[in-house]
Amino acid sequence: MTDKTRALITGGAQGIGYACAEALIEDGFDVILCDINAEGVASAAKDLNALAALPCDMGDTAQIKAMFDQIAADQGPIHALVNNAGVAMPGDFLTYELADFERVIDINLKGVFLATQLAARVMVDNKIEGAIVNMSSINAQVAIPAIPAYCASKGGVMQLTKVAALALAKHSIRVNAVGPGSIDTEMMAGVNANPEAFKVAMSRTPLGRAGDACEIGDVVAFLCSKKASYITGETIYVDGGRLGLNYTC
């Protein structure tokens, strides 16, 4: 990698996004972080010596477009995009608020589409053989009734990844996704704090432990690298074996 190889990571202030930044920096990328948490992303960028920290609500199309314009003006074209930002917003299916459903879809799916489209345009215009990695979930394949919008959005990300990969293959832009299982992040904090809930989660995880965010970051970095040069349109599940399990103890 040269010092002009840039990667944009959304939701980069903490957790999986932060771990992705660490892994990509280790691989030689200059990293640009964005997050809705302006203070948090600034702190993360300082800790990582990242190229830039940009506050952005990935559910707001105007903010996403403005962010890409700012990156083009200040840092130049990006070579990799990691669409990591996402929310869950759990609730009972029968009383689930439409506004909550729309908010999850806006961030987890619509924002991913727009960022992918804008990044791909930059890559095509600059003749960059780029890589885009979307954060899906095992909930693209299996469902939890308390997170209807999240499950729908991650299923959409899986399909969007395939569509984008096919559309962009002629430009030598690869598009893949990563589907985490139970990863020890803030999103899993409630499960970790409840011994019974944690026991249930581990009963459906053959490796018997929660994953670490760095284990997702390493797979993302692989997909952004030349080592994955013939992989596109795929979702790689990093789930401790969960999707292969057809029973729980």
pLDDT digit string (tens) for 173-222? Answer: 999 999 999 898 876 667 767 778 788 878 889 898 889 999 999 999 99
- pLDDT of the residue at 201: 79
Angle at 17 between CA 37 and CA 164, to 5 degrees: 110
* Domain locations along the chain: 6-244
Catalytic residue among 18, 150, 237, 247: 150
pTM value is 0.94
Nearest Cα residue to 19 out of 204, 194, 186: 186
Pick the CATH number of 6-244 from 3.40.1110.10, 3.20.20.110, 3.10.180.10, 3.40.50.720: 3.40.50.720
Query: Distance between CA atoms of 215 and 220, rounded to whole angstroms?
Result: 9
237 labelled catalytic: no
Query: Distance between CA atoms of 106 and 57, rounded to whole angstroms?
Result: 10
44-53, 128-137, 201-210 — which is least confidently predicted? Answer: 201-210
State how far the alpha carbon of 163 is from the alpha carbons of 40, 102, 103, in Å: 33, 22, 23
